[in-house]
Amino acid sequence: MNKKKIINDPVYGFINIPSALVFDLISHPYFQRLRYIKQLGMTHLVYPGALHTRFHHALGAMHLMSLAIEVLRGKGHEVTKEEEEASTIAILLHDVGHGPFSHALEHSLVNGVQHEDLSVLIMEKLNIEFKGQLALAMEIFKGHYPKKFLNQLISSQLDLDRMDYLNRDSFFTGVTEGVISFDRIIKMFNVVEDSLVVEEKGIYSIENFLISRRLMYWQVYLHKTVISGEQLLVKILERAKELSLKGSVLFATPALQHFLAQRIEGTAFFEKDIHLEQFMKLDDQDIFASIKVWEDHPDAILSRLCKMLTSRNLYKIEMTNVPPQEGRLEMLKENVAVVLNISPEEARYFVFTAVIRNRAYNAGSSNINILLKNNTLIDIAKASDLSNLESLDKTVKKYILCYPRII
């Protein structure tokens, strides 16, 4: 069978599948599952075009890896065929541990389990299945390989993961502020002492990259309505799990039932193979099919929450720089309890607070270093003449208050 295939990608055009091993990994059920997990979770509630998947994104990041390695080789840096294939596999599988609807599952059904840890666990399983052929990819992915720049292409503040998702999310949402000069940035890549740097000519493209990332966070990823939809989904899953743990039998696929019917938190997830087996059968379809059925569940709270989501009657959300007043929170809970005829304790599903944070650039972690013409290195925040670039190195913290529109 000919495994040298090409894929027509709407963002980059034709993408090459570079080897038979990469083809087999893409064909594996673990990776094919990403076709059914949306890249942006609930963002389609605001931007109807945001229906692209983790599958799209992983292939796009893989394509950018091939471009980056070609550029670095052209500048005299040795990257062997084995290292190229391993780096390609590492970035292809970097998101394979994601659950349905992005991070919603991490906050409800499997608390304390990060998708990065799951990606490593899945790569370990695949490495056994493929008889050790992923060993080098895992070494690079974990940052244990001597050529540090290969890991930085996968995970850093200027990695190909971010480069693809900014470009792709901008394309599918139609938010042009996220468009970045990915091709110019990659052409300005270089390596100094095994670390990835950007040549001075690329400084304006990096400025645009960091500012675009900030704009995309507040305009897309942390948009008030997106957060409202995600919080509603989390509350639905919390209620479903609470009912299941009390003995109620809810409609669910076997994979979803596995996580509803028991508490699996933190390290407990990694202690039994069955947990990962069931997790790898979960995708967005399991969750939303259940929500459609739960609309008619006799539990009034679960039913109402599900109807709110399917009819897009989301929470009203207030976003402020200071915490909401405790008195107002209690008053809203009391009002909701009366209007919905539920207990004040149950009102927590409808009235609650949360905190969101964003930091566009972290100068203390895997800095973006600019290679000046005199061969010295300087951090982008210092090299840039944009006065607002240093302000991106601050964590912006916002408080949100959610409550139903009926009060």
How far apart CA 329 and CA 331 sit, in angstroms, is 5
Would 368 be classed as within a structural domain? no
Would 288 be classed as within a structural domain? no
Would 94 be classed as within a structural domain? yes
Q: Between helices 224-245 and 284-294, what is the axis angle to 10°?
A: 70
Are 190 and 73 a contacting pair, CB within 8 Å?
Answer: no
Would 171 be classed as within a structural domain? yes
How far apart CA 301 and CA 342 sit, in angstroms, is 8
Are 266 and 111 a contacting pair, CB within 8 Å?
Answer: yes
* pTM, to two decimals: 0.94
Amino acid of residue 256: L
Number of domains making up the chain:
1
How far apart CA 198 and CA 346 sit, in angstroms, is 53
How far apart CA 219 and CA 140 sit, in angstroms, is 33
Are 157 and 365 a contacting pair, CB within 8 Å?
Answer: yes
Residue listed under structure tokens 């669910």: 252
Per-residue model confidence as pLDDT tens digits over 189-233: 999 999 999 999 999 999 999 999 999 999 999 999 999 999 999
Find all residues with CB under 8 Å of 368, minimum gap 6, and list them: 157, 158, 198, 206, 210, 361, 379, 380
Instruction: Tell me what pLDDT residue 389 has.
Output: 72
Q: In what order do the strands lie in the sheet with 352-358?
A: 316-320, 396-403, 352-358
Instruction: Tell me what pLDDT residue 113 has.
Output: 84
Would 150 be classed as within a structural domain? yes
Would 301 be classed as within a structural domain? no
Per-residue model confidence as pLDDT tens digits over 49-58: 999 999 999 9
Would 365 be classed as within a structural domain? no
Residue 137: give its domain's CATH number.
1.10.3210.10
Would 369 be classed as within a structural domain? no
Find all residues with CB under 8 Å of 175, minimum gap 6, and list them: 47, 169, 215, 216, 219, 220
User: Which range of residues forms the domain containing residue 41?
Assistant: 6-223
Q: Mean pLDDT in runs of 10 for the chain (407 residues)?
A: 90 96 97 97 96 98 98 97 98 95 75 87 96 98 96 95 96 93 96 96 93 92 95 95 94 96 89 94 96 97 98 96 92 95 95 91 82 93 75 86 92
How far apart CA 124 and CA 216 sit, in angstroms, is 33
Instruction: Tell me what pLDDT residue 116 has.
Output: 87
Amino acid of residue 3: K
**Which runs of consecutive H residues, i.e. helices, occur in 75-158?**
81-92, 115-129, 135-141, 148-154
Per-residue model confidence as pLDDT tens digits over 343-379: 999 999 999 999 998 888 887 777 899 999 999 999 8
